[in-house]
Amino acid sequence: MPKNLVIVESPAKAKTIEKFLGKEFQVESSFGHIADLPSKELGVDVENDFKPKYTVDKEKKALVKKLKDLAKKAETIWLASDEDREGEAISWHLAEELGLDKNKTKRIVFNSITKSAIQKAIENPRDINYNLVNAQQARRVLDRLVGYELSPVLWKKIKPGLSAGRVQSVAVRLIVEREREIEEFTPEASFRIKAEFKTNQGNVFAAKLNKTFPTKEAAEKFLKENIGAGFSVSDLAQKPAKKSPAAPFTTSTLQQEASRKLYFSVSRTMQVAQRLYEAGLITYMRTDSVNLSNEAIAAAKDAILDNYGEKYSQTRNFTGKSKGAQEAHEAIRPTDMKLQSPQLERDQAKLYELIWKRTLASQMSDAQLERTNVKIKASTHNEEFSANGEVVKFDGFLKVYLEGTDDEDGEEQEGMLPAMNVGEPLQNVFISATERFTRPPYRYSEASLVKKLEELGIGRPSTYAPTISTIQNRGYVEKGTVEGSERNYVQLVLEEGKVSDKQLTEMVGSEKGKIVPTDIGMIVNDFLVTHFTQILDYNFTAQVEEDFDEIASGDEDWQEMMKNFYKDFHPNVLEVEENAERASGERVLGTDPKTGRQVSVRLGRFGPMVQIGTVDDEEKPQFASLLPDQSIGTITFEEAMTLFELPRKLGVYEGEEVEANVGRYGPYVRFGKKFISLAKGESAFDVDMERAIELIKEKQKADAPIATYEGKDVTKGKGRFGPFIKWNGMFINVNKKYDFDNLSEGDIAELIEAKKKKEAEKLVQEWPEEKIRIEKARWGRHNIIKGRVKVELSKDVDATKITLEEAQALLEKKSPKKKAKTKAKAKK
């Protein structure tokens, strides 16, 4: 039995550490926190110093017992969870729940999983840092109080199933306020002047006037002033300039840059970075420090000298601007600068390369540039055109890496200008005056939202990814494409002594991959901002983060902080619950011309809807759901009334009724019991019977059997997980090994037999007469299944010993709830 027990929080981390420690060490994983606040109650004693009630989840009890037994046999227990507040709390929970002997227990931390880092940590153990533990407890308890007290208010005043959170609600507020700015924005037009000139040597270059004209008339007047004018170079300035590299990555800058360059979501970036860290390839990925250790700087210098030479090396120390940067972390960097392209799966390789390049570039020389500015005068007026050029004299760090930008208005960097001299005459090719409009603020991308949260001091490195995931999962915001609209604009062109006028069109307002608030997100936000001003205040949220930092440094008592917060927060919750009116985001759009009843749009139990009539009318109101791309805030009366035309009956085909409608997945044609989606760009309001029959025939052809096997039909199709065949009620995925369009009888038999074997291996017990079976599920679990009812068994239950009576009893417990739900829907 090894003398030393090392406990980390993840199996992947355990696997890597095991390689560096000898036979005297046994490395085990706690699989994250072994104790937490209970999921089905508040779990905080607000009457007794906000004492948390930590419980061990029933699924972790077997693991806790195993770790406890191992700890008793070990001479020394090393708690090696991550070096941030969350990791400190994991170590503390382990010490408490396992009842570890303080004299046998040592806490070690390292910011990279390498042999030298781990050996250094073992040589320098410490005790659990209770200030860090208390900072984590404070965040956990405060967030639990906010979530548990605010969410029921939202259920009562808006809609069941909603949730609120201290950081998530503030993030939603940012997105909602940006959307309102966009909605209220009125574009202002002006005319921008551009010109093209030619030198005596025949080189053409572009120039612009650093002034705009407010009207078409003013722009046209200026163009006419240039008819017959002579042009020459009035001034020419060349200045040296330099460009410096960006600092190494923090959590926030890594998330932003991976979004810009690799198109990763924030959560994807963190998942991939976690794997790289656990494999020992990069330092800890939750940090707001831009600092590099002396060893890292020296290793980067060696790599630069080996690859590029002395003149490319410039040692730099960066200091962060982030308030309350957490603990003494390093920036995110490779653990071995000599390892440029390790053998990794695709996403890991891309992110590793980004981190390697950024780290290397941070220790490289400035890029040396030469910027040229040319001024061009006309003989007929006093306005001057200007042209700018930039030449890279020495590439420096640009040889490796240039940071991306979120500036969507940025024009491409102008290149080199042709050689010219002051006084040199120039030939004008053309001058254009183009109508341009001021732009509304851009919607947030995931990366720019992280940047904004960091600027405001809201959240910390560990919170950005879960916050953005949460607000999307809750349905408060969505990421997708915003369809733009066409806009007309004017362009005047002076060419060969004549001014011509062109009418052009452009698409405006279209954005891809941006975060847009949903109707429910806007309604919840407005309710919270109105009734819980303090919680939704940006400065308050940032101040709370500073309080956590004070607790972490031992300068503030966490329970005192809770008292100060709760004494105002709780009475506010009670008052709102008692007195606030229900919120539905209702807008009155007009009056129905047929009935004279009120037409309004609001949030209903099943989502946004239009309503004709009110509950006070004798006749029941009529309802119609909004289309996926419509919003309570922007839908017009005409668009709302059109919704009552659905479903549209198109006719009868092969004895079955055909109609067009819109569902949660978009517009479709219904043919009997079959639902056939319309193609992108097709509308349920426009599709006719001819097109519907075409779609039905395509569906029938796709659904027709392609073969029979053991007397049963085989069909094929494509679903969300790719191509499949269906046989005897089973869906069987068809991987790339097979030619899906030309499946042979042998292929079909092979696929079906493989699936049958897999299903047989999954089966633990079966009672065919009762149509009940027990199957293996993921992560070592088991499910009892009858029809569509599924009951998951906990890991500590032996599925092979369950009797029919026990299985029926467990299914009975679950079934009545489903029936009750169905009845409630039927009643509605």
Contact 337, 359 (CB under 8 A): yes
Is the distance from CB of 207 to CB of 374 less than 8 angstroms? Answer: yes
**Quick check: helix, strand or coil at residue 360?**
helix
Q: Answer for the pair 650, 688: CB distance below 8 angstroms, yes or no.
A: yes
CA dihedral 109, 111, 116, 120 (to 10 degrees): -30
Sequence-distant (≥ 6) Cβ neighbours of residue 261 within 8 angstroms: 354, 404
Residue 657 phi/psi, 5-degree rounding, is -75, 140
First-residue to last-residue Cα distance in the chain: 65
Counted residue by residue, the chain has a size of: 828
CB atoms < 10 A from the CB of 648, how many?
A: 16
CA dihedral of 790, 795, 797, 800, whole degrees rounded to 10: 70
Q: Angle 392-395-398 (CA atoms, 0-180°, nearest 5)?
A: 115
Tokens encoding 1: 């039995």
Given 54, 277, 284, 464, which residue is catalytic? 284
Question: 3-state DSSP call for residue 489?
Answer: strand
Strand order in the sheet with 25-29: 25-29, 4-8, 76-79, 105-107
Of 489, 558, 571, the C-alpha closest to 532 is: 571
Residue 486's Cβ-count burial label (10 Å; 0-12, 13-18, 19+) is exposed
Residues whose CB falls within 8 Å of the CB of residue 203, separated by 6 or more in sequence, listed in order = 418
Q: Which residue from 97, 154, 91, 115 is spatially nearest to 25, judged by alpha carbons?
A: 115
Say how far apart CA 316 and CA 295 lie, in whole Å.
Answer: 13
| 665 classed as catalytic | no
Burial of 312 (0-12, 13-18, 19+ CB in 10 A): buried
Catalytically active residues are 284
